[in-house]
Amino acid sequence: MTIAQLVNALGLEVLTGDINMNREIKAGYTSDLLSDAIANIEEDSVWITIQRHINILGVAKLKDAAAIIIPRNLQLEENVIEKAREEDIAILRCPQSAFEISGLLYNILTRG
């Protein structure tokens, strides 16, 4: 599944334009603790987090995450979105909770 397909399937809002829309997603990870995310995010994963500061971009880049999903339509500062564009990191947003997004993503990625 690509990021674009995930956006369409879940009705996600894309905050960073068309960055990485054709990138394949292999897994997902949900955590708000940066050190936990660093230890456990797999390459080509979608990271679900309520964290919205600039450091999430460093974690995503370090772990080669495919995208970051921000739940509950939480707001990001424009400088974080701009830096994500510069770093080629897709940031997506939706109204559901992290729990709900995690379940939906799991179901999409594991159905055959």
- What is the band of 111 on the pLDDT scale with cuts at 50, 70, 90? confident
Strand order in the sheet with 27-30: 13-14, 90-93, 67-70, 45-48, 27-30
30 within 8 A of 40, measured Cβ to Cβ: no
Provide the β-strand partners of residue 28.
46
pLDDT of residue 58: 97
pTM to 2 decimals? 0.95
For 47-58, write each residue's pLDDT tens digit.
999 999 999 999
Residue 61, domain CATH? 3.40.1390.20
For the residues 99-104, what does the mean pLDDT come to? Answer: 98
For 37-78, write each residue's pLDDT tens digit.
999 999 999 999 999 999 999 999 999 999 999 999 999 999
- What is the count of structural domains for the chain? 1
Q: For residue 102, what is the enclosing H or E element?
A: helix 98-110
- Domain encompassing residue 70: 3-110
